[in-house]
Amino acid sequence: MKTARSSALRLWGRLAESAHLRRRERQTVLEGVHLLQGYQARGGIPLHWFVRASVVADPEVGALQRHSLWPEATVIADDLFDEYSSLQSPGGVSALISWPAAPASLPREESCLVLDGLQDPGNVGTLLRSAAAAGMSTVVCATGTVQVWSPKVLRAGMGAHFQLTLHEGADLRDWLPGYSGTILGAERGASRAYDDFDLRGTVALVIGNEGAGLTRAVRDLLHERIGVPMSAGVESLNAGVAGSILLFERQRQLRVRDAG
């Protein structure tokens, strides 16, 4: 393993802080053994990766290093690694990676999850994890949604990014009118509950901003509003939870259909 190189370290710090730089360079930061394992399992090869000196002998770190196509890791003193890491309890490994190539076009005839202006990295990461777990392989993120390749969303997604086709910066007003499936928007107070819908066909499940909900333009393009019934006195559900309920209801219906 190599000793630290200042240029790569500076890039780590700049990518961690700047959404503009990440977007311009199409590069980002992964932190933690689990994320790097998921990235490696999907065939990812980092530009650079760093190891905290005190975990060099860790078996999981050694397994990452034994990948024949990965570059040699750069070892960093614990205090220097902690200075650059954005984690309160640094996991001991970090990598700089390139974003996957952007998909050529938005989906027209396949089911997808649509994020309409969500801003909380935790919610977006949760929804990506749920989409991957529930078999919804395509996610469309509208303009105004938090950057899905930001380190915070990557950590919350726990490797789901590498199992999904992700579209960013979509103009939903331009795309949704040409979508061939049923467009369902999650909204508080919707008259029909999620389990009253047939989700087995081609559907776009649209989740709105945590505070403002769906944008007016998108609301006008919905085929149906879909709700999650709640006990009296409960104002709303977390966007990540509400979206996950819809995703797993779709998966449940598909399982029942296939079993029958």
- In the block, residue with structure tokens 């999850």: 113
Give how far the C-alpha of residue 152 lies from the chain's centroid of Cα atoms, to the nearest Å: 10
Mean pLDDT value across the chain: 92
pLDDT at 43 over 80: yes
pTM: 0.91
Query: Which pLDDT band holds residue 237 (cuts at 50, 70, 90)?
Result: confident
Q: Is the pLDDT of residue 19 over 90?
A: yes
List phi, psi (to 5°) of 62. -60, -35
Please give the Cα distance from 119 to 123 (Å, whole number): 8
Average pLDDT over residues 159-172: 95
Kindly state the average pLDDT of the residues 230-254: 87
Average pLDDT over residues 139-162: 95
**What's the 3-state SS for 174-223?**
HHHHHCCCEEEEECCCCCCEHHHCCCCCCEEEEEEECCCECCHHHHCCCC
